[in-house]
Amino acid sequence: MGSMISSADVVVTSPGRNYVLLRVTTEDGLVGWGDATLNGRELAVASYLRDHVVPLLVGRDAHRVEDTWQYLYRGAYWRRGPVTMAAIGAVDTALWDLKGKAAGLPVYQLLGGAVREGVYAYAHAFGWDHGELVASVDRRLAEGFRAVRVQFGVPGLDAVYGVHLGAAAYEPAGRGRGPLVERWAGAPYLRHAPGALAAIRDHVGPDVDLLHDVHHRLTPVEAARLAKDVEPIRLFWLEDVTPAENHHALDLVRQHSTTPLAIGETFTTIWDCQELLVRGSIDYIRAAVTHAGGLSHVRRIADLAALHGVRAAPHGPSDLSPINLAASLHLALSTHNVAIQEYMGHPGEAHEVFRTAYTYADGYLHPGDEPGLGVEVDLVAAERFPYEPAYLPVARTVDGTVWDW
């Protein structure tokens, strides 16, 4: 059958926010889609793909997914890193999409078939103060979610990851200007967070799963204190308590608490995950399909995690496109130790560009049964939304020292 790759194109579009997409076409006219979006550094991946990867794809057998992965990873000599791995992730995802379309099967069937009826999903709730946060949580519960991530403001600060003082919505990447500076101070956060989370636990009762993301802000000892202080709240997880590169920091947190820990949305390979998994330092690994080399590699990470009793929970923010979310759902439906999928949704305009087969009902997602990933891209609509430079914020402590965002 005609499975030779005849062309591959990079599409950069900005329906509400920037996305970088890869379209791979075979000689018999099948089209596979991958997501290559790296928030705030989008054009670096577009160039890596256009200038270095696409010329290697044309003429290859589209069905050789694993060989192509190894060729792009090992064959480049310069391995790992977010730019390289997002590019490989896009190729891998597009080839799985193509293989599904060629077989007439949804990708989850190619990965072994469904191991569950639906994928447990968590939504985001945020509010600067308790009243706003409760209203936001109640909206999520009314939508059927049984797992909610809660982010709140801190007296004395104007912005904390996940929420801004006086802002109706939360979108971290500011368009058309350099990075905003957000002031950070650990002490007021540590004083405020346990009470803010306890008040939400009191409001929702014991049956709702509550999650919280610290976004890499704390020192090891601060993180240990927070994890210990919030223990009675029985969080589903506490995410990214310390900067993700410092694996040993989590040992201190572990020694002091049984609060479940999640980390890994910035990890790009199994090597970034290995030590944390083998040492039993975490409970959930967050590596994303796009950013960690695609479905093939994230499945491998999930398998390593399974050996150590760790469950996978791939990152699913609005700054990854619906193609990434669809791929994540095919993985989650067919991978035994995937625990939950982040479901943040996408800007309204994105729905003009992406047609998706995945569905949400009563707290669960399903990837749908269309062949491949079940996402199609309207290229005419995509052209209506040209790229605009955007940056994530930068954090500085109150004395002006650059901090982890």
First to last CA, the chain: 49
Q: Looking at residue 113, what DSSP letter applies?
A: -
Picking from 286, 374, 299, 294, the residue whose alpha carbon sits closest to that of residue 331 is 299
| Nearest CB to ligand CS2, comparing residues 39 and 68 | 39
- Footprint (CB under 6 A) of ligand CS2, residues 184-213: 213
Q: Which helix (H) or strand (E) holds 135?
A: helix 130-142
Q: Tell which one of 265, 272, 283, 370 touches ligand CS2 (CB under 6 A).
A: 265
Residue 277 CB contacts under 8 Å (≥ 6 apart), including other chains: 285, 304, 305, 307, 308, 310
β partners of residue 126:
151
Q: Looking at residue 233, what DSSP letter applies?
A: G
- Annotated active-site residue 215? The verdict is yes
Picking from 320, 263, 260, 270, the residue whose alpha carbon sits closest to that of residue 292 is 270
Q: Tell which one of 14, 18, 25, 39 touches ligand CS2 (CB under 6 A).
A: 39
- Selected catalytic residue, list 215, 216, 297, 366: 215
Closest distance to Mg ion from the beta carbon of 92 (Å): 23
Picking from 345, 321, 340, the residue whose alpha carbon sits closest to that of residue 329 is 340
| Nearest CB to ligand CS2, comparing residues 89 and 172 | 172
Q: Which stretch in 191-199, 272-280, 315-323, 357-365 sits in contact with ligand CS2 by CB under 6 A?
A: 315-323
Closest distance to Mg ion from the beta carbon of 72 (Å): 27
Closest distance to ligand CS2 from the beta carbon of 317 (Å): 4
Dist CA 39 CA 374 (whole Å): 23
Length of the chain: 405
β partners of residue 390:
175
- Footprint (CB under 6 A) of ligand CS2, residues 329-348: 342
317 contact, one of Mg ion, ligand CS2, none, CB 5-8 Å limit per kind = ligand CS2
Binding site for Mg ion (CB under 5 A): 213, 265
| Nearest CB to ligand CS2, comparing residues 62 and 223 | 223
Closest distance to ligand CS2 from the beta carbon of 296 (Å): 22
Number of residues that bind ligand CS2 (CB under 6 A): 10
| Nearest CB to ligand CS2, comparing residues 65 and 230 | 230
Q: Are 147 and 137 in contact (CB under 8 A)?
A: no
Picking from 143, 156, 165, 176, the residue whose alpha carbon sits closest to that of residue 364 is 143
| Nearest CB to Mg ion, comparing residues 387 and 391 | 391
| Nearest CB to Mg ion, comparing residues 39 and 321 | 39
x/- site string to ligand CS2, residues 226 to 255, per CB under 6 A?
A: ------------------------------
Q: Tell which one of 182, 229, 283, 319 touches ligand CS2 (CB under 6 A).
A: 319
Strands 159-160 and 359-361: unpaired
- Selected catalytic residue, list 48, 120, 161, 343: 161
* 35 touches ligand CS2 (CB under 6 A): no
Q: Which stretch in 99-107, 200-208, 311-319, 375-383 sits in contact with ligand CS2 by CB under 6 A?
A: 311-319
Picking from 179, 97, 181, 173, the residue whose alpha carbon sits closest to that of residue 387 is 173
Q: How many CB atoms lie within 10 A of CB 166?
A: 8
Q: Tell which one of 172, 264, 367, 371 touches ligand CS2 (CB under 6 A).
A: 172
Q: Is 162 left (phi over 0), alpha (psi -120 to 50) or beta?
A: left
Dist CA 241 CA 163 (whole Å): 17
**Residue keyed to tokens 């949580």:** 137
- Annotated active-site residue 212? The verdict is no
Closest distance to ligand CS2 from the beta carbon of 63 (Å): 32
Residues known to be catalytic: 161, 215
By the criterion CB under 6 A, which residues form the site for ligand CS2? 39, 172, 213, 215, 265, 315, 317, 319, 342, 392
